[in-house]
Structure 1
Amino acid sequence: MNHKHLFYFWKVAKAGSVARAAEAINVTPQTLSGQIGLLESSLGAELFVRQGRSIVLTEAGKLALEYADEMFALSAELEVMIKHHPKGRPAEFRVGVSDAVPKSLACRLLQPAIDGAQSTRIVCREWQLDRLLAQLAVHQLDMVISDGPIPPSFSVRAYNHRLLESGVTFLAAKSLVAGNTAAFPACLNALPLLLPGEDSAVRTSLQPWLERQRVRARIVGEFDDMALMAAFGKAGSGAFPVPSVAEEEFLASGELAILGRSEELRVSYFAISVERRLTHPSVLAVTQSAQRIGAEQDIP
C-alpha cells in the first residue's frame, strides 16, 4: 500500500470534502481524487460514494479510516518521542495507577521496569481511573494499571491487557474480631463492613456474593482509595476485603487478622495501553512481572 495515497484519503475523510482537503494540504482537487482512485484500485474497494454534492464513506472506507487514524496517531507519537527522547539521561516511563490497586502490588509490578537493563526513570500518577485514561488518551501516560478494563462509557482508543487474577481476603482489626467465633463468611454478620467505592471491580461482584452467602453486614463506609479503607480497618472501624495477592501488605503491621478467603470472588488487574500489540520495553517488563506473580500464586 502506498502510504501517501492513504494520507490523502485520510485528509479527505477528515475534511469531509475533496476541495477542503486539497486547500488544507496545498494540492489540487484533481490530484487528490486521482490518488484516492489509485488507493481504491489497490484495495479493490470503493472508499467514498457520492450523495448529491457530498461524498460519504462506504463501510470499507469507515474501516480504512479507523486504521488510518491509528497509523497517523502512532506516526505523530513517534515523532514526538524521538524529538523529546532524553540524551544521556534515563528514559522516562509514565504510568498511572488506579486508586483501587494495592500499593505493594503496584510496586511489585513496576519494579522490573526500573531494574531492567535499560536505564529508566519511572513517573507514577495515582488517581481515579477516568482521569488516568484521559491522560493516556493524549499520550501523557504510557500505561495505566487498573483493577478493571476500560469502562464501556469511556471512548478512548486504547487496549486492555490482562495482567493477573486474584481471590479476595477479608481482614479486620484483631481487637474487632476478639470473641467472634462464627465461621467465615457468617462472621461478617456480626461485624461492620467497609467496602471499596462503586467504581471498584471488586464492589461489582461483592454484593451478589454477600447475598448468596446470606450475609447481612452493616456497611459503615465506602472508599475509592484502598489505602484509606485499610487505615479505617486498622482503626477498628470494620472488616474489609483486599485482593489475596496483596494481603501481606495489610498484615505486615500486625494489627489485622484474616477472617477468611474467597476464591469465588475474583479481581482482575489490567495494563491499559494505546498499543494493540505491546512493544514498549517497560510495559513488557510489567506484563512479565505479572506472569511471575501469577505463577507464585499457583504454587501450593
Structure 2
Amino acid sequence: MKNTGPNFRHLYYFWVVAKEGSITRAAERLGLAVQTVSTQLTLLEQAVGKALFTQQGRRLILTEAGRTALNYADQIFLLGEQMQEALDEADSVRTRLSVGISDSLPKLTAYRLLEATTQLATPVRLVCYEDQHEALLGDLVLHKLDVVLSDRPARSGTLLRVFSHQLFESETIVVGAPSLAAVYEKGFPGNLNGAPFLLPTRNNALRGKIDEWFEGHNLRPDVVGEFEDNALLNTFGRRGLGLFFAPAALVNDLAEQLGARLVGRVPQVREQFFAISNERKIKHPAVEAILSAVPQGGLAAA
C-alpha cells in the first residue's frame, strides 16, 4: 500500500509532542484532549508508514524515523515562522537582514563590515547570530540566514550550494595592553621568546599561519591561553594577560575600544575575510552593500 504522506496538522501535533516530550504536555499546550493528540499521531504514523515514537516507561522516545521527521518538521515550522515575520514586516520601513557571524571572526571586523548596511536608503534591521563556521553554513543552506561573515571560505567539493566572496585581506599586528606592550615593543620580534601570548585554537584559519611565523623566526612564546571565541580572547587581552594578533586595519579601533597598543607589524601573516551567501535570483540589497563596501584595499584603518 502506498503511503499517503503527512497531513501538516498531524505533523504539527507530532512536532509539539516531540518538543514537549509527552502527549499530555503537548495536549495542554495545544488546548486539545489527550485522546485527540494521540489519535492524530496514530494517523500520521499510518500516513508515513513508520513508527515515530517508542514508549520507555512513561516517556516517549523518538525512533530513528522520528528523529528524521523532527529534523524536517523543525525546518518546515521555522520557515513558517519566518514567513509570518516577513508578512508582518511587509509594511515595515526596515528591511530585515539575518547575519551569521563566525565565532572566530574579530567582532570589530564584523561591525565594520556590517556598517555598510546602515548607510542604505532603506533602513535595515540587523538580526545577528554567532556560531561555529560549519553550523552557520548549515543554517545558510536552510535559508535561516541571508549571509555568513567568516575568516574562511566555504570548503570546496561539498554539496552546499553557497558562494564565498572574499571581502578583503589584511596583514596582522601584535597588540597588547599598554603595560605589556611597553615591555615588548622594542626589539620586536626578536624579543618575543617567552612572551605571553593569547592565540586562537588550532581549528582557526589564522592559527597555522601564526605558528609558521613563530617557527620561521625561531620564536618560542609562552602560550597562556587558546580561544575559539575571538571576543573572549580580546577580553583576556584587554586585561593584560597576553599579547595577541589582530587585523592591522583595526589598529585604531583596538586602541579605542580595547585599550590595546601596537607592539609590532606582521605582514607575513595575512588574514582573509569572507561573506558567504546563497545562490539567489533576487539579491538582498543589504548583502549587496556588504559585498561592494570593500572592493579594494580592505577596511580603512581610521
- Residues 254-286 of structure 1: per-residue CA shift (max 9 Å, x gap): 743211011111111000011278832111100
Find the residue that maps to 1:93 and give its secondary structure.
strand
Contact 1:167–1:265 under 8 Å retained in 2: yes
* Structure 2 gaps, min length 5: 6-78
What residue number does 1:88 align with?
91
What residue number does 1:132 align with?
136
* 2:190 counterpart of 1:186: yes
Residues 83 and 265 (structure 1), Cα distance of their counterparts in 2 relative to 1, 3 Å cut: closer
Residues 120 and 254 (structure 1), Cα distance of their counterparts in 2 relative to 1, 3 Å cut: closer
Q: Distance in 2 between matches of 1:194 and 1:217?
A: 10
Q: Residue 172 of structure 1: CA displacement?
A: 1.6
Q: Distance in 1 between matches of 2:252 and 2:216?
A: 27
Match of 2:160 among 156, 160, 163: 156
Amino acid in the other structure paired with 2:291: T
Contact 1:102–1:246 under 8 Å retained in 2: no
- Residues 28-63 of structure 1: per-residue CA shift (max 9 Å, x gap): xxxxxxxxxxxxxxxxxxxxxxxxxxxxxxxxxxxx
Q: Distance in 1 between matches of 2:122 and 2:146?
A: 16
What residue number does 2:245 align with?
241
* 2:247 counterpart of 1:273: no
* 2:211 counterpart of 1:168: no
Q: Residue 180 of structure 1: CA displacement?
A: 4.2
- Percent same amino acid at aligned positions? 34
Find the residue that maps to 1:111 and give its secondary structure.
helix
What residue number does 1:110 align with?
114
Find the residue that maps to 1:151 and give its secondary structure.
coil
Residues 273 and 237 (structure 1), Cα distance of their counterparts in 2 relative to 1, 3 Å cut: same
Contact 1:99–1:225 under 8 Å retained in 2: yes
- Residues 224-279 of structure 1: per-residue CA shift (max 9 Å, x gap): 12121111112221111011112222211574321101111111100001127883
Q: Distance in 1 between matches of 2:86 and 2:183?
A: 61
Q: Distance in 2 between matches of 1:258 and 1:222?
A: 20
Residues 264 and 154 (structure 1), Cα distance of their counterparts in 2 relative to 1, 3 Å cut: same
Find the residue that maps to 1:168 and give its secondary structure.
strand
Q: Distance in 2 between matches of 1:190 and 1:256?
A: 20
Q: Residue 152 of structure 1: CA displacement?
A: 5.0
- Residues 40-96 of structure 1: per-residue CA shift (max 9 Å, x gap): xxxxxxxxxxxxxxxxxxxxxxxxxxxxxxxxxxxxx9xx97994532112211111
Greater shift, 83-92 or 219-228, is seen at: 83-92
Match of 1:198 among 170, 192, 202: 202
For normalisation by structure 1, the TM-score amounts to 0.66
Q: CA RMSD in A?
A: 2.9
* Structure 1 gaps, min length 5: 1-19, 25-76
Q: Distance in 1 between matches of 2:272 and 2:217?
A: 22
Amino acid in the other structure paired with 1:171: V
Q: Residue 143 of structure 1: CA displacement?
A: 0.3
Q: Distance in 1 between matches of 2:199 and 2:171?
A: 16
Residues 295 and 95 (structure 1), Cα distance of their counterparts in 2 relative to 1, 3 Å cut: closer
Amino acid in the other structure paired with 2:91: G
Find the residue that maps to 1:101 and give its secondary structure.
coil
Find the residue that maps to 2:252 and give its secondary structure.
helix
Find the residue that maps to 2:233 and give its secondary structure.
helix
Contact 2:178–2:259 under 8 Å retained in 1: yes
Contact 2:185–2:262 under 8 Å retained in 1: no
- Residues 84-115 of structure 1: per-residue CA shift (max 9 Å, x gap): 45321122111111122222221221122233
Q: Distance in 1 between matches of 2:116 and 2:208?
A: 31
Residues 159 and 223 (structure 1), Cα distance of their counterparts in 2 relative to 1, 3 Å cut: same
Contact 1:159–1:276 under 8 Å retained in 2: no
